[in-house]
Amino acid sequence: MKVKVYNLEGKETGEINLSDKVFNVPVKQDTVHQVFVALRNIARQPWADTKGKGEVSGGGKKPWPQKGTGRARHGSIRSPIWKGGGVAFGPLSTRNYKGKINKKIRRLALKMCLSDKVANNGFMVVEDFNFIEPKTKLFANFLKLLPAKDDRVLILTAGKNENVLQMTRNLPKAKTMQAEDLNVVEILSKPVVIINKEGVAKLEEILGK
């Protein structure tokens, strides 16, 4: 499969051959959804926490006699049916949302997402990110020159590129990350992926095994 390659002026300079093993994989929504949910659960933190009957304060004695008052029988004001009492079966901060996901399935889902981007013109390859200076304005102008249908972009570099990070950190609709750290959640968060040739080689090296 071939896609166009652009320079920093937004002009076509040729084409690049993409590996069919990585960028031309049939898309199965169930597989992508399974991996997406699993990754979101791994990142989820159990903040909600409630106190049970034995943890709330007060209620050390029986509020009134068992019989003779005409009122219902109660043994403690810490009962879940009392206002201010404990919570029955409430959420706890010890809950673990993490689930195991197969490495092979995770990589397959990522290849499906990449294939979908290529098929829908959401995958753009540039020669390099060697700007004359690391200025946000230069990168913003570069994005305007590309024939992208959306300004929400995910920029991928081979390894950590401090200059690109510096140029894009103040662009609210752009996110930069290393190609080797790409996952299903990140690629689905942006309609357009912009990557240099080195990044493409890195993805093919990791996912083409």
DSSP classification of residue 121: T
The DSSP H or E segment spanning 7 is none
Distance CA 144, CA 139 (A): 9
CA separation for the pair 4, 139 (Å, rounded)? 20
CATH superfamily placement of domain 2-44+100-207 = Ribosomal protein L4/L1 (3.40.1370.10)
CATH 3.40.1370.10 boundaries in the chain? 2-44+100-207
24/34 Cα distance (integer angstroms): 20
H helices present in the chain, as ranges: 20-23, 29-43, 103-119, 136-145, 162-168, 184-188, 197-207
Q: What is the pLDDT along the chain (209 residues), one digit of tens a residue?
A: 899 999 999 999 999 999 999 999 999 999 999 999 999 999 988 999 999 999 999 878 899 999 999 999 999 999 999 999 999 999 999 998 888 889 999 999 999 999 999 999 999 999 999 999 999 999 999 999 999 888 899 999 999 999 999 999 999 999 999 999 999 999 999 999 999 999 999 999 999 87
